[in-house]
Amino acid sequence: MTQRISFSLDATDGKARTGVISTPRGDIRTPAFMPVGTAGTVKAMMPESVRATGADILLGNTYHLMLRPTAERIDRLGGLHKFMNWERPILTDSGGFQVMSLAGLRKLTEEGVTFASHVDGSKHVITPERSMEIQKLLGSDIVMCFDECPALPASDEDVAKSMRMSMRWAQRSKDAFGDRPGHALFGIMQGGVTPDLREESAKALIDIGFDGYALGGLAVGEGQEAMFGVLDYAPDFLPQDKPRYLMGVGKPDDIVGAVKRGVDMMDCVLPSRSGRNGQVFTRRGTLNMKNARHADDPRPMDENCSCPACSQYSRAYLHHVYRSHEMISGMLLTWHNLHYFQDIMQGMRDAIAAGTFDAWEAEFHATRALGDIEPL
């Protein structure tokens, strides 16, 4: 009999939580950061390198994969895990956010969304039922409900209307998902920055019943202060015994602030996208490897980091390959960023388990405030 996906909470410290999501494809230690493998690859990384950074789970994008190479083709080729050579857990998003942000000529109705592909202009329809079908063809371990993300800023009335439709779509997603042992379905809370609407959304999702709950509609341009404002109360509306997933977050201080407020899982393209653009996250803040100050510097980017970029290469070399548009630049800087994000997660898991999260957080912020080491 296939193992069901389950969540166990091992320790809490304030609102911060650490535990394990158990799946047939392996355990996911929480709080977890999920690197984004948009089109079946974490850009510039081999799957075994992503695993070496400490990642337990990846995210795949339903929207991108349904357009190219198509979910049907991936299914014929044995599913997404086999296709991309990642045998550990995969979470797929539902396609809702990308339809909002990338697709042209969107038409939204109660039934679903009709849109033009950003790849070739072809016409497609995603409904809650079709999203569940695509994610089943992909074979992902954690499936997300199909929801609508209104672009902020929006009026309370528009946010409420959108949220209520998303809740109807959540019920349709659950009905279409059916009973799939070994796979989990997460609902997505909406409601913008309005406590009443967030609570209404949470109650509707709990009534339907999901394996985990996401906080949607954040990290869409509202700013950190507004996001933390919502996270101060919204996770408390959700069940204690299910994982909570903050979609699309974020920078290192966003991640730490989210975990402090009770979030268990996050994903973001930032480590990989920034790495390809020469931006590096370190314990002492953000570095820009295109800056001339690094040109003669034999030191590592971060002397406390054990990733290949820091342990085997100098700032001068990493500056040179970035300025020369060499492929290895994106590879090494992405590896470093993903490694550092996973270091943060491990640091928080250890601190929560030890009951020292506040002290860990204070040191995290104090070290970042120091800024980069002095130039030579």
Place of tokens 């072809």: 122
Q: Which of 161, 203, 107 is nearest to 187 (CA)?
A: 203
Query: Alpha-carbon torsion 3, 134, 99, 273, what sign?
Result: positive
Sequence-ordered list of residues with C-beta below 8 angstroms from that of 292, at least 6 positions apart, any chain? 319
Residue 90 has pLDDT above 80, yes or no: yes
pLDDT for res 99: 82
Residue 217 labeled ligand binder: yes
Residue 93 labeled ligand binder: yes
Residue 81 labeled ligand binder: no
Residue 240 labeled ligand binder: no
What percentage of the chain has pLDDT greater than the value 90?
Answer: 92
Place of tokens 């640091």: 347
Question: Which amino acid is it at 364?
Answer: F
Report how far residue 20's alpha carbon sits from residue 357's, in angstroms, rounded to the nearest whole number: 18
pLDDT for res 221: 83
Residue 149 labeled ligand binder: no
Report how far residue 244's alpha carbon sits from residue 262's, in angstroms, rounded to the nearest whole number: 8
CB 68 within 8 A of CB 120: no
- Reported as a single tens digit per residue, the pLDDT across 269-320 is 999 999 999 999 999 999 999 999 999 999 999 999 999 999 999 999 999 9
Q: Going from the N-terminus, what domains does the chain have, and what CATH number goes with each?
A: 6-30+61-267 (3.20.20.105), 275-370 (no CATH)
Q: What is the mean pLDDT of residues 60-70?
A: 96
Report how far residue 52's alpha carbon sits from residue 303's, in angstroms, rounded to the nearest whole number: 19
Q: What is the mean pLDDT of residues 63-70?
A: 96
Report how far residue 135's alpha carbon sits from residue 121's, in angstroms, rounded to the nearest whole number: 22
Residue 152 has pLDDT above 90, yes or no: no
- Reported as a single tens digit per residue, the pLDDT across 232-258 is 999 999 999 999 999 999 999 999 999
Query: Alpha-carbon torsion 128, 134, 139, 144, what sign?
Result: negative
Sequence-ordered list of residues with C-beta below 8 angstroms from that of 223, at least 6 positions apart, any chain? none
When the pLDDT of each residue in the chain is averaged and rounded to a whole number, the result is 96
Could you list the active site residues? 93, 267
Residues forming a β-bridge with 18: 11
